[in-house]
């Protein structure tokens, strides 16, 4: 069993950031919180750097029409520290889970929500029914849109793994696109067709599980043929339209928010080429992209973090916390 700890060089780099950034003047709390957040996130809580600096958040149900959601809040949102970089930053954050049977109650998701609340956000976590049932459904964008509508703007939107699909689709949705200031894709995808091809050819175990969870789709003989042969070439027009409908690359140009993209170079579940594809589709938005060894899929990868990786992750963590106006 691997130990969920940050490798010693990575720990030293992040500790150096944590000690040095308060001396940088304009860096302020977002820089300190960004370094502390990374220490705790990459170590999976073994190094409680941010927890040592902040109060435990409170958790309560969030009233969202037609959506089951929780709200995590910490003291920082209600009482911002005296820091010029804090003024005007997004305080609301919507966190979208990946393929998680327990939805908002997934233990890792709850830890992430608490950590983000400690970083100074009011964190709304909805259950996305399709993702909880191991499905990619065009309707999955609705709970994300409704949760954004229930939170005070401007908001930050974070999509984890396959949950980056509905998160990015919601960020481009005209109903709420002006409410989103920052959107982060962590281990996400750009093309549902490309992701399906990866599963069929490299992860047939996941392809079979997806097929079992989607009997309505498998009623189409071209879908059954694709699962059996690993070839998507013969898919029906209806299934191709469905895959296009859940592909963020087709709408990314409609995003008005700052786009941050993080992906592990050795991600075993979603290839990093999907984030490259997303960044290319969004090149007009000038996204910040970090392809790193310090993250496996959406969790820390002990022993693989290089100083350059950690610097890139810190810049993204800092911008996530500070908002677009505080970017370095």
What digits encode the pLDDT tens for the residues 225-242?
Answer: 999 999 999 999 999 999
Exposed/middle/buried for residue 245 (C-beta within 10 Å: 0-12, 13-18, 19+): middle
Q: Rounded to an integer, what distance in angstroms lies between the CA atom of residue 22 and that of residue 8?
A: 22
Local confidence band at 19 (pLDDT 50, 70, 90 cut-offs): low
Would you state the pLDDT for residue 29?
A: 77
In CATH terms, the superfamily for domain 8-191+247-326 is Alpha/Beta hydrolase fold, catalytic domain (3.40.50.1820)
pTM above 0.75, yes or no: yes
Helix (H) or strand (E) holding 290: strand 288-292
Name the residue ranges covered by the structural domains of the chain. Answer: 8-191+247-326, 193-243
Would you state the pLDDT for residue 77?
A: 62
Local confidence band at 95 (pLDDT 50, 70, 90 cut-offs): very high
Q: Which of 37-46, 92-101, 135-144, 233-242 bottoms out in mean pLDDT, i.e. has the lowest? A: 37-46
Cis omega (within 30 of 0) on the bond before 192? no
Q: Rounded to an integer, what distance in angstroms lies between the CA atom of residue 298 and that of residue 249?
A: 20
Cα 176 to its chain centre, rounded Å, is 18
Percentage with pLDDT > 90 across the chain: 72
The pLDDT tens digits of the residues spanning 106-152 come to 999 999 999 999 999 999 999 999 999 999 999 999 999 999 999 99
Local confidence band at 17 (pLDDT 50, 70, 90 cut-offs): low
Least Cα distance to 308 among 322, 298, 294 occurs for 294
Which residue bears the tokens 């599980």?
209
CB contact set of 266 (below 8 Å; sequence gap of 6+)? 293, 296, 301, 304
Local confidence band at 1 (pLDDT 50, 70, 90 cut-offs): very low
Would you state the pLDDT for residue 26?
A: 42
Q: Rounded to an integer, what distance in angstroms lies between the CA atom of residue 137 and that of residue 283?
A: 26
User: Is the confidence at residue 85, as pLDDT, over 80?
Assistant: no
CB contact set of 163 (below 8 Å; sequence gap of 6+)? 96, 97, 98, 99, 128, 131, 188
Local confidence band at 306 (pLDDT 50, 70, 90 cut-offs): confident
């Amino acid at each position: 069993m691997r130990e969920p700890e940050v490798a010693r060089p990575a720990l030293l780099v992040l500790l150096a950031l944590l000690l040095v950034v308060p001396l940088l003047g304009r860096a302020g709390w977002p820089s300190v919180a960004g370094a502390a957040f990374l220490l705790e996130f990459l170590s999976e809580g073994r190094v409680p750097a941010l927890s040592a600096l902040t109060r435990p958040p409170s958790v309560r149900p969030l009233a969202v029409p037609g959506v089951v959601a929780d709200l995590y809040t910490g003291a920082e949102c209600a009482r911002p520290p005296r820091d010029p970089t804090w003024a005007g930053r997004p305080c609301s954050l919507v966190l979208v889970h990946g393929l998680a049977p327990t939805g908002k109650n997934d233990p890792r998701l709850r830890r992430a929500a608490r950590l983000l609340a400690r970083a100074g956000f009011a964190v709304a976590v909805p259950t996305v029914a399709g993702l909880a049932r191991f499905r990619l459904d065009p309707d999955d964008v609705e709970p994300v849109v409704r949760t954004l509508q229930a939170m005070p703007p401007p908001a930050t939107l974070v999509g984890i793994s396959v949950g980056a699909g509905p998160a990015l689709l919601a960020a481009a949705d005209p109903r709420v696109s002006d409410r989103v200031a920052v959107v982060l894709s962590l281990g996400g995808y750009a093309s549902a067709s490309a992701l399906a091809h990866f599963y069929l050819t490299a992860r047939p175990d996941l392809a079979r599980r997806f097929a079992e969870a989607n009997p309505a789709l498998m009623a189409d003989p071209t879908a059954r043929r694709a699962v059996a042969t690993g070839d998507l070439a013969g898919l029906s027009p209806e299934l191709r339209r469905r895959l296009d409908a859940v592909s963020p690359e087709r709408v990314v140009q409609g995003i008005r928010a700052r786009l941050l993209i993080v992906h592990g170079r050795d991600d075993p579940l979603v290839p990093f080429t999907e984030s490259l594809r997303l960044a290319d589709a969004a090149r007009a938005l000038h996204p910040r992209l970090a392809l790193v060894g310090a993250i496996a899929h959406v969790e820390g990868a002990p022993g693989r973090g290089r100083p350059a990786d950690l610097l890139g992750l810190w810049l993204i963590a800092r911008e996530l916390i500070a908002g677009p106006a505080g970017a370095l």
